[in-house]
Structure 1
Amino acid sequence: MVKSVDIEEFLELSRQNPVVDVRSPSEYTYGRIPGAVNLPLFEDDERAEIGTLYKQQGKDLAVKRGLEIVGPKMRPMVEFAEQLTFKDHILVHCWRGGMRSGSVAWLLQTYGLPVVTLKGGYKRFRNHVLDKFAEKMELMVITGPTGSGKTDLIKALAANGQQVVDLEGLAHHKGSVFGELGQEVQPSSEHFQNELFWAIKDFDFSQPVWLEDESIGIGKVMIPEAFWRQMGKSPRVHFNMDRNIRIKRLVSEYASFPEKVLDEKINMLERKLGGQHAKSALGLLRSGDFEGVADLLLVYYDRAYKNALIRHKKDLLLEIEADHEDFAKWAELVIEKTKTQYV
């Protein structure tokens, strides 16, 4: 009989053993346990066909059709599993820990491979993920105007041994209208949340977890509400880089993109910039004055940031006016100035 374990043991075993997700490719793509490999028992169209049979003609015909589909796949599935490197087990799951994972686990175990399945399947994993975000955490939020290098400061804090979360890195988006440029395609909100869980699951929540201030939506993905609420109540470090440095950083980051792309992004901001400012920004762009474009756009972004800063004034723990880009030194200063907050 195949052994089935709870989510906590399953995740512990996953540290040294592969996770095999036997759901369909679209289910896997939409959201998965980070690091899992996909070995679908049914392709998307096959799963739809069996589901329709089950509803219209009953379980028996659906199961028989499933057997017809799976039969030719059995040897390739075993050969796929044989290539996996594992310490103790191959960890198998489906959506609810039912027939799909049970069937694949039986096949692999019959061949002689050690297999463990997940009680409750991926659905149980998702509930575990959402429960984690409701736990009390000592979050420390880095805030600052556009172009200040907040992500670089987060990375410098990580290099200094601090617990950090790069939300924009996980989201594949930098948060602004220009945030998708140069990034991979964004994951679904569900998978973004899975990756966020994976990033924090081993943290000591009695110690600070540093992250950048964000809206609840980063591009098209959504921060889990319970986690975002904690961010909103957490101490903040205001990190403000010299404006001239910020302009140069923004030019370095975005000026290499095609003019047409930048033109589209500026037009998306027309309502917030105002028609005249948007027209001026487009004129500067077409003349190649990228610093002028950045300077003009910062009028809008800085105004929006100041409004957010006022809303969170009571949570402000530290203010830093930065005049250079040695983020390692800024990280050391931030740690030194805030350590009494969490000792």
Structure 2
Amino acid sequence: MNEHLISLDELWELRGQIPIVDARSENEFQQSHIPGSINLPILTNEERIRVGTLYKKEGSLKATIEGFKLVGPRFYRIQNTAVENFPEKKVLIYCWRGGMRSQILSWLLSMIGFQVYRLVGGYKAYRTFTFQLVRRDWNLLVLGGKTGVGKTRLLNVLTSYGEQILDLEAIANHRGSAFGGIGQKPQPSVEQFENLMAEELRQKDPNQVIWLENESQRIGKIIINDKFFECMESAPLIDIKKSEEERIGLIKEIYSTLPKEELIAAVTRLKKKLGGLRTTQAIEDIINDQHESWISNMLIYYDKSYQFDLDKHNPKTIQTLDLTGLDIEKSCQLLINIKNLLNGKQINPAH
């Protein structure tokens, strides 16, 4: 059998060189998986439940025999699919715990000349790693500021200055407001979000500052784990100021081209907080392409919400920075100056 058992450390070295194949069922894969992997299920959703129930009631032997009975007629289809999708005949395989399903798939592919690398401990080993990594103490520096000050743009440009950033909204496929899901891909599950977040953090230097945007604990349907959110709340926060005109202009640039029906739906979701009159006016403005008007209307609510959240922070951890009228390069230079000043002190009490 042309198979090599590999550890999680070896996975990091091999990924990107050969395809990663998830042998679990469709539902398991959809819920969460190793990013970049391809699903080639040995057992379907229904078959997995059937075998699992048999295992609990009658033990491993009968469950294994039943598993082979179910998957046996599909052996040739699985092999054909693998040949079509992986012509170089090298794959890295995992299932839930590195057990029966990945062993069967490894055997099937080895029989037709594949070089197989099978992950010891399976997805469970990977998930244990990502779960722990996103709950470590991290050296964070938070970009705050009212809606429209350009926090995400600043984060992205900071990378060109060699700064470490973590864009939680990009990972969550959501901008973090009632309007945040418009034009975005479907959000991952909370578990997959943590996997993606860990993939980013794994590449960071834990001894250096990581910039991220101020967020509530919920980003769309995603909930940031308590430990990391506590780390965010205890980190220094730079409260960015921009003129209302600049803020409205940036928001208009992002949202004015989006489908009107989705913008109206977002406004409607805020009706209880906006009140009937303001909601009606905002909807009329969207219909009539009066973007500055409906955006200004929304900012009344979002500015109050931001101030409420800001008041929860320890004022000793907040630095105010007015970037009104400044271009993004100058703004980033000022941010880095503040980081360097803070870095001469204790950035995060956890360190």
User: TM-score normalised to the size of structure 1?
Assistant: 0.90
In the alignment, structure 1 residue 47 sits paired with structure 2 residue 51:
no
- Partners of 1:233 and 1:84 in 2: how far apart? 47
Q: Which runs of 5+ in 1 are unaligned?
A: none
Shift of 1:176: 0.4
After superposition, the C-alpha distances for 1:5-39 in whole angstroms (9 at most, x for unaligned) are 33233333325333211001111111011111111
Shift of 1:113: 2.8
Q: How many residues align?
A: 342
Match of 1:200 in 2: 201
Q: Which structure 2 residues correspond to residues 285-324 of structure 1 after superposition, within 5 A?
A: 285-314=286-315, 316-324=317-325
Shift of 1:46: 2.7
After superposition, the C-alpha distances for 1:211-262 in whole angstroms (9 at most, x for unaligned) are 1111111000122222111111111111222211111222222223343332
Q: Which structure 2 residues correspond to residues 151-170 of structure 1 after superposition, within 5 A?
A: 151-170=152-171
Amino acid at match of 1:50: V
- Go from structure 1 to structure 2 and tell me whether the alpha carbon gap of 1:323 and 1:46 turns closer, same or farther (over 3 Å shift): same
Match of 1:84 in 2: 86
- Go from structure 1 to structure 2 and tell me whether the alpha carbon gap of 1:325 and 1:32 turns closer, same or farther (over 3 Å shift): farther
CA contact (8 A) 1:189 1:221 kept: yes
- Partners of 2:17 and 2:46 in 1: how far apart? 33
- Go from structure 1 to structure 2 and tell me whether the alpha carbon gap of 1:315 and 1:227 turns closer, same or farther (over 3 Å shift): farther
Amino acid at match of 2:28: E
CA contact (8 A) 1:16 1:86 kept: no
Of 322-331 and 100-109, more deviation after overlay is shown by 322-331
In the alignment, structure 1 residue 180 sits paired with structure 2 residue 190:
no
- Go from structure 1 to structure 2 and tell me whether the alpha carbon gap of 1:111 and 1:285 turns closer, same or farther (over 3 Å shift): closer
Shift of 1:186: 0.8
SS of the equivalent of 1:311 reads coil
Amino acid at match of 1:104: L
Shift of 1:315: 5.0
Match of 1:221 in 2: 222
Shift of 1:52: 4.4
Match of 1:150 in 2: 151
User: TM-score normalised to the size of structure 2?
Assistant: 0.88
In the alignment, structure 1 residue 27 sits paired with structure 2 residue 28:
yes
- Partners of 1:75 and 1:128 in 2: how far apart? 35
- Partners of 1:324 and 1:222 in 2: how far apart? 35
Of 266-275 and 181-190, more deviation after overlay is shown by 266-275
Match of 1:337 in 2: 338
- Partners of 1:125 and 1:61 in 2: how far apart? 29
CA contact (8 A) 2:134 2:194 kept: no
Q: What do you get for the CA RMSD once the two structures are aligned?
A: 2.5
Shift of 1:286: 4.0
Give the % identical residues.
Answer: 35
- Partners of 2:198 and 2:88 in 1: how far apart? 23
- Partners of 2:87 and 2:319 in 1: how far apart? 48
Shift of 1:280: 3.2
- Partners of 1:177 and 1:211 in 2: how far apart? 20
CA contact (8 A) 1:242 1:321 kept: no
- Partners of 1:84 and 1:318 in 2: how far apart? 53
- Partners of 2:182 and 2:57 in 1: how far apart? 47
In the alignment, structure 1 residue 253 sits paired with structure 2 residue 270:
no
CA contact (8 A) 2:141 2:235 kept: yes
Amino acid at match of 2:283: L
Amino acid at match of 2:86: L
- Partners of 2:236 and 2:18 in 1: how far apart? 38
- Partners of 1:299 and 1:85 in 2: how far apart? 57
Of 332-341 and 110-119, more deviation after overlay is shown by 110-119
Amino acid at match of 2:161: N
Shift of 1:276: 3.3
Shift of 1:110: 3.8
Amino acid at match of 1:190: E
